[in-house]
Structure 1
Amino acid sequence: METTEVTGWEYAVLEGGPADGLRMKVNARPRVIQVTYPCQVEATSPDGVRAEAVFLYRRDYSVTEEPLRYGFDIASP
């Protein structure tokens, strides 16, 4: 368990998966980052329906300085 309280924005990098190499700023060192990609729906779909692919990245707790690292969770839904 982490004992240091962190406030403010820090750089983070995603590793692996569809968003490999993506850099961003995070606040309060979240445990998980969710990345979504839009999916195409067929023209016969009801109006307003949309679909997105969801991918999860979990924080690497061994990295304590910027950039923080988040690794792709292959078992994510």
Structure 2
Amino acid sequence: MLLMDDMKAMRDMAGVEPWETAVLFGGPADGVRLRLTGRPSVLQVSHPCRVENAPDGMQIAALHIYRRDLKVKSEPLRYGFDGVSP
């Protein structure tokens, strides 16, 4: 298991952020696993919507916000659905 100091040392030596595994909990993307770098605090999941009578090229997507659980320090990182965010 890597500790935060170990991860920082790896990043400093390699000059790149290490990839980590994360899991989304709740909401429409519940259980989705992904790989990411930099431990972003918020993830945005979008899902295309079908549109009727829309001008050419218009696309509409439903947006879903997931926030990182700061209590989880090791992989897999955990992101929980935020149903209140716009």
RMSD: 1.4
**Aligned AA for 2:27?**
G
Q: Figure out how many residues of one structure are paired with residues of the other and give that number.
A: 74
2:22 aligned partner: 12
Match status 1:49 vs 2:55: no
Identity %: 54
How far apart, in 2, do the equivalents of 1:51 and 1:17 lie? 19
Query: Over alpha carbons, which structure has the higher Rg?
Result: 2
1:29 aligned partner: 39
1:60 aligned partner: 69
- Higher-strand-fraction structure: 1
- Where does structure 1 lack aligned partners over 5 or more consecutive residues? none
Give how far 1:47 is off: 0.5
**Aligned AA for 2:32?**
L
Show structure 1 runs of 4+ deviating over 6 A.
none
**Aligned AA for 2:70?**
Y
TM-score (norm 1): 0.89
Match status 1:38 vs 2:56: no
Give how far 1:29 is off: 0.3
How far apart, in 2, do the equivalents of 1:63 and 1:69 lie? 7
How far apart, in 2, do the equivalents of 1:53 and 1:33 lie? 14
**Aligned AA for 2:64?**
F
2:14 aligned partner: none
Give how far 1:74 is off: 1.0
How far apart, in 1, do the equivalents of 2:62 and 2:21 lie? 24
